[in-house]
């Protein structure tokens, strides 16, 4: 019996090392990693620039707390401001924590502007925002809420992608709208340009904040630093994490000046933005914002999309739909094949993917993959799919 709390049901696989887009077990088996630690290892494994940044910083200083100035924080925040919609940045350690900060901002923004009764956040069905008490309430999914009642108050839900429902749900208690530009855990549903633009209009009309959860779809995953950039929309708040640290725990809340309402004593986190995290975060940004990197994501993302569509055409009795953007792609299986079972078969053939809601196989490869890796993944998918033709 393991001493671990059994919160996960991991595959019976343990890796010893990683190199680029491959993971290796102790007995030398090699796996093509199209899961990337659930969109975290955006630069793959053991990227030399990240390893160097971590090692160099580790020999100098790890942690001092936010009782002292951390120059790396100021520098990295400025780089995010220069590269995005944001005017201000708060660093934390995870996605859920970034969402918690965002929700607090929504409430305080309205309170500061004379609307203390506006505290509710309007979110979407099928959403995922984390596993803390407030973020399971924000996600609104029964399977995560059950057993942890009473549910944190202050969240309302409407169907994802439906502007009419969203507009109709705004009331005099609404503080903000919180949406994933592309729903990840829910099954790779993208709202699209008009949806995100429509949300901006609704927020402007009612004086509420537009908050995007880009924990999964941000940090280059779609071929822009943040997915909302494709829609040309300026949000008020963005929560991000996962890919921002390339495997080092890091999250961030980005806001406009208008929404930068957190002041001294309002919020904090002991580890947030410590020197180690800032060194790695800076190294991640060096690469993602480097010449041609995001263009590469768009190009290889197109290769992946075409490969998945080819598989869907070749196996219409196995796959029903391809959806997603860039290197955040979903392949939906027919009802009779369970995505988790199919995922296990892929694993046995050396391909790692992540399951998602709606019986979807989720492809979140490192952003550094090349076309040849797509070809390799497609061959494994084809092999496993051919067993299920029915």
Q: Which positions touch ligand PLP (CB under 6 A)?
A: 94-96, 99, 128-130, 180, 184-185, 213, 215-216, 241-242
Q: Whose structure tokens read 């580890």?
A: 271
Which residue, 126 or 174, has its beta carbon nearer to ligand PLP?
A: 126
Residue 255 phi/psi, 5-degree rounding, is -140, 160
Which residue, 245 or 319, has its beta carbon nearer to ligand PLP?
A: 245
Tokens of residue 95, six digits: 């996605």
Number of H helices, E strands in the chain: 12, 17
Which residue, 40 or 311, has its beta carbon nearer to ligand PLP?
A: 40
Q: Give the span between the Cα atoms of 135 and 180, in whole angstroms.
A: 13
Shortest Å distance, C-beta 241 to ligand PLP:
5
Which residue, 166 or 182, has its beta carbon nearer to ligand PLP?
A: 182
Strand pairing category for 189-190 and 182-183:
antiparallel
Which residue, 322 or 328, has its beta carbon nearer to ligand PLP?
A: 328
Shortest Å distance, C-beta 112 to ligand PLP:
26
Shortest Å distance, C-beta 54 to ligand PLP:
19
Shortest Å distance, C-beta 36 to ligand PLP:
13
Shortest Å distance, C-beta 93 to ligand PLP:
8
Which residue, 38 or 298, has its beta carbon nearer to ligand PLP?
A: 38
Shortest Å distance, C-beta 374 to ligand PLP:
23
Q: Which of 379, 373, 386, 344 is nearest to 361 (CA)?
A: 344
Could you tell me the CA-to-CA distances from 345 to 11, 262, 289, 359, 388 in Å, in that order?
Answer: 11, 48, 36, 15, 11
Burial of 21 per CB tally in 10 Å (0-12, 13-18, 19+): buried
Q: What is the DSSP string of 20-59?
A: BTEEEETT--EEEESSHHHHT-TT-BS-HHHHHHHHHHHT
Which residue, 84 or 135, has its beta carbon nearer to ligand PLP?
A: 135
Which residue, 129 or 157, has its beta carbon nearer to ligand PLP?
A: 129
Q: Give the span between the Cα atoms of 323 and 367, in whole angstroms.
A: 18
Name the residue with the smallest CB distance to ligand PLP.
Answer: 95
Q: Which of 206, 120, 193 is nearest to 158 (CA)?
A: 120
Shortest Å distance, C-beta 40 to ligand PLP:
9
Shortest Å distance, C-beta 180 to ligand PLP:
5
Which residue, 18 or 37, has its beta carbon nearer to ligand PLP?
A: 37
Tokens of residue 90, six digits: 């708060």
Count of other CB atoms within 10 angstroms of residue 205: 10
Q: Is there a contact between 308 and 322 (Cβ–Cβ < 8 Å)?
A: yes
Which residue, 280 or 318, has its beta carbon nearer to ligand PLP?
A: 280
Shortest Å distance, C-beta 252 to ligand PLP:
11
**Range 158-196 burial, b when 16+ CB lie within 10 A, else e:** bebbbbeebbebbeeebbbbbbbbbbbbbbbbbbeeebb
Degrees to nearest 5, angle at CA 183 with 180 and 184: 120
Shortest Å distance, C-beta 145 to ligand PLP:
15
DSSP assigned state of 97: H
């Amino acid at each position: 019996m393991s001493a671990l709390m059994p919160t996960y049901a991991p595959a019976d696989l343990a890796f010893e090392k990683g190199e680029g887009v491959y993971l290796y077990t102790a007995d030398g088996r090699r796996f093509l990693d199209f899961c990337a630690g659930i969109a975290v290892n955006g630069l793959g494994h053991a990227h030399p620039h990240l390893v160097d940044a971590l090692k160099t910083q580790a020999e100098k200083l790890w942690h001092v707390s936010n009782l002292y100035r951390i120059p790396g924080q100021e520098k990295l925040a400025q780089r995010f401001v220069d590269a995005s919609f944001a005017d201000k940045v708060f660093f934390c350690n995870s996605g859920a924590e970034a969402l918690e900060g965002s929700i607090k901002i929504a409430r305080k923004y309205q309170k500061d502007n004379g609307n203390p009764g506006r505290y509710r956040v309007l979110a979407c069905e099928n959403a995922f925002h984390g596993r803390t008490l407030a973020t399971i309430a924000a996600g609104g999914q029964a399977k995560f809420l059950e057993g942890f009642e009473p549910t944190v108050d202050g969240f309302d839900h409407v169907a994802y992608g439906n502007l009419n429902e969203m507009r109709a749900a705004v009331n005099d208690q609404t503080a903000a709208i919180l949406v994933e530009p592309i729903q990840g855990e829910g099954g790779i549903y993208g709202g699209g340009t008009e949806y995100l633009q429509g949300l901006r209009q609704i927020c402007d009309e009612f004086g509420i904040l537009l908050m995007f959860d880009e924990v999964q779809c941000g940090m280059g995953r779609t071929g822009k630093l943040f997915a909302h950039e494709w829609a040309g929309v300026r949000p008020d708040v963005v929560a991000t994490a996962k890919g921002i640290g390339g495997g080092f725990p890091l999250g961030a809340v980005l806001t406009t000046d208008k929404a930068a309402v957190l002041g001294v004593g309002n919020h904090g986190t002991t580890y947030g933005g410590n020197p180690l995290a800032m060194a790695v975060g800076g190294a991640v940004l060096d690469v993602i914002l480097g010449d041609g990197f995001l263009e590469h994501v768009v190009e290889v993302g197109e290769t992946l999309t075409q490969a998945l569509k080819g598989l869907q055409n070749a196996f219409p009795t196995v796959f029903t739909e391809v959806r997603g953007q860039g290197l955040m792609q979903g392949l939906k299986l027919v009802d009779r094949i369970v995505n988790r079972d199919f995922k296990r078969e892929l694993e046995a053939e050396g391909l790692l993917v992540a399951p998602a809601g709606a019986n979807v196989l989720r492809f979140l490869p490192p952003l550094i993959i090349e076309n040849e890796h797509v070809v390799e993944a497609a061959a494994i998918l084809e092999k496993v799919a051919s067993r299920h033709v029915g």
